[in-house]
Copies of this chain bind each other. A is one copy, B any other.
Amino acid sequence: MNIGEVSKNTGLPAKTIRYYEDIGFVTPARGDNGYRSFSEKDQHKLVFLGRARGLGFSIEDCRTLMALYEDQGRASADVKRVAQKNLTEIDRKIADLQAMRGTLSHLVAHCAGDGRPDCPILEDLGRV
């Protein structure tokens, strides 16, 4: 398969697929014309990668997960640890964003939003 078809099948942009090759995630064969020639297995790895990225795993985590995926003798505890770490990280991000959201929505709610210059948002940002 050429990169265009793989892109359509996986939902990953061709640019991204080339990038994943750059960083050693897949190593598709090459035709005589220099075109990448993807096997089913290559495509499957890209699907795996796309899903893992969609769940917020970093590229490095994906490398670990892929190695575990291909290791028939893995311990599920190793996978769970990586996933748990990611989950903790996601929770931290959510908490950060919710703290921001709390302050900001409070300020927005108290701003008249009319033609007058008085604004609690700016007052808060500029308080000494």
Q: Which residues of A pack against B, CB within 8 Å? A: 44, 47-48, 51-52, 54-56, 65, 68-69, 71-77, 79-81, 83-84, 86-87, 90-91, 93-94, 97-98, 100-101, 103-105, 107-108, 111-119, 121-122, 124-126, 128
Q: A119-B80, A122-B65 are in contact. Are A86 and B113 (CB under 8 A)?
A: no
- The distance from the CB of A127 to the nearest CB of chain B, in whole angstroms, is 8
Q: Do residues A111 and B48 form an inter-chain contact, with CB atoms below 8 A?
A: no
How far, in angstroms, from A77 to B77 measured CA to CA in the complex? Answer: 53
Complex partner residue of A94 from B56, B101, B108, B114, CB under 8 angstroms? B101
Chain B residue contacts of A111, Cβ below 8 A: 76, 79-80, 83
| Copies of this chain in the oligomer | 2
How far, in angstroms, from A47 to B122 measured CA to CA in the complex? Answer: 12
Complex partner residue of A116 from B52, B75, B103, CB under 8 angstroms? B75
What are 20 contact pairs spanning A and B, CB under 8 A? Answer: A44-B128, A48-B126, A51-B124, A55-B100, A55-B104, A56-B97, A69-B122, A69-B125, A75-B114, A76-B111, A76-B119, A77-B112, A77-B113, A80-B113, A80-B121, A83-B121, A84-B108, A90-B100, A91-B101, A94-B94
